[in-house]
Amino acid sequence: MQANIVTIPGDGIGVEVVAEGVKVLKAVAEKYGHMFTFENYLIGGCAIDATGEPLPAVTLDACRQADAVLMGAVGGPKWSDPSAKVRPEQGLLAIRKELGLYANLRPVQIFPQLRDASPLRPERLEGVDLVVVRELTGGIYFGERKEATGEDLSAYDTMVYSAPEIERIARRAFELARLRRNKVTSVDKANVLACSRLWRKTVVKVAGDYPDVELDHMLVDAAAMHLMRRPSDFDIILTGNMFGDILTDEASQLAGSMGMLASASLGEGKAGLYEPIHGSAPDITGMGIANPLATILSVGLLLRYSLGLGEEANAVEKAVADTLEAGYRTKDIYTEGAKLVNTEEMGTVVVGKL
């Protein structure tokens, strides 16, 4: 098949890990006889430096026309002033909103080879295989807000959800559950927040169309605790924008590192945006030690969801597993006796296994 893939590496280690993702995509194209073309554009801090905007119009236009988008990360100390009117994170929020990418899928899979890299005891990792389905274009990140200015030391951010927004992300979660273990855990804060009470009511209504899927509800603070105590109980975690952001960072510790978790951001069509869940990591930028496996696993999601290439996606995921089985590790997941490699070497090993 032919596909046009836009890459937006962004800032920091985003540039380094996206390069390895592209390397894997080129290897897939060669192995399976596909024709992938790549176009590179700016987002985040580097875009601010070059154009004054965190999401230039030319980047957004290219992403709209692409079959899929592979992204790195945005931000860094140079642009970290929270009072600045233009910030890298605005580009990230804008591209999700403008492309209508309301569903963020974040799989959490435990590779047996990395059990020693997790801070949890190995027995607690038995059977862990879950997906966080995070609503991505609503909630507190997009609600009305007021900055503290001058002598007025008050500020607010507003969490807003409509029933249709909740319904469409809930249907994504239930449909995905039907392909897995038929269980959805909806996470909210319904004991305190009116917005969460609407969330719970709407999810219950949607559940009526999926009698074969078990639904339970959990408050977000309890969910955070149970992710550490009994993570194997979860199949699909359905939650809002901010709660999903926090819980998936916590869940990365089950896998041993944020460098191991991929994500897919999807809308109504096949096109989507794929990225590792980690940030730009300015403390290790340019050192060649960033873990590219989350980006490479995101490539697997890209192949599966946007290009419909399930066999190729499985091959990428198996290549990652085979690489770990062979003992190769970047610094973040290194344990004594493993084969320590840098970012580029890890990508090359995966391509070899592929």
Specify whether 221 is catalytic.
yes
Question: Is 212 tagged catalytic?
Answer: no
Q: Is 185 helix (H, G, I), strand (E, B) or coil?
A: strand
Q: Decide if 189 is catalytic.
A: yes
**Of 41, 102, 141, 305, which one is the catalytic site residue?**
141
Backbone region of residue 10 per phi and psi (left: phi > 0; alpha: psi in -120 to 50; beta: other values): left
Range list of β-strands (E), 136-268: 145-146, 156-157, 183-188, 214-219, 236-239, 262-266
332 is catalytic: no
Distance of alpha carbon 148 from alpha carbon 51, whole angstroms:
27
**CA-CA-CA-CA torsion sign (73, 74, 78, 82):** negative
Q: Pairing state of beta strands 236-239 and 339-340?
A: unpaired
Closest by CA to 25, choosing from 86, 67, 77, is 67
Among 67, 161, 188, 189, the one annotated catalytic: 189
Within a 13 Å sphere around the CA of 29, how many CA atoms are in the beta-carbon half? Answer: 18
249 assigned to active site: yes
d(CA 68, CA 264): 10
Catalytic residue among 49, 221, 270, 283: 221
Catalytic residue among 210, 245, 274, 328: 245
- Which of 249, 318, 331, 334 is labelled catalytic? 249
Q: How far does CA 56 lie from the centroid of its chain?
A: 22
Rg (CA), the chain: 20
Q: Which of 339, 288, 318 is nearest to 20 (CA)?
A: 288
Look up residue 153 and give its two tokens.
């030391």
> Cβ atoms within 10 A of the Cβ of 119, count?
8
Antiparallel, parallel or unpaired: β 339-340 and 328-329? parallel
Three-class SS state of 117 = helix
What is the Cα–Cα distance from 101 to 118, expressed in whole angstroms? 31
- Residues marked active site are found at 141, 189, 221, 245, 249
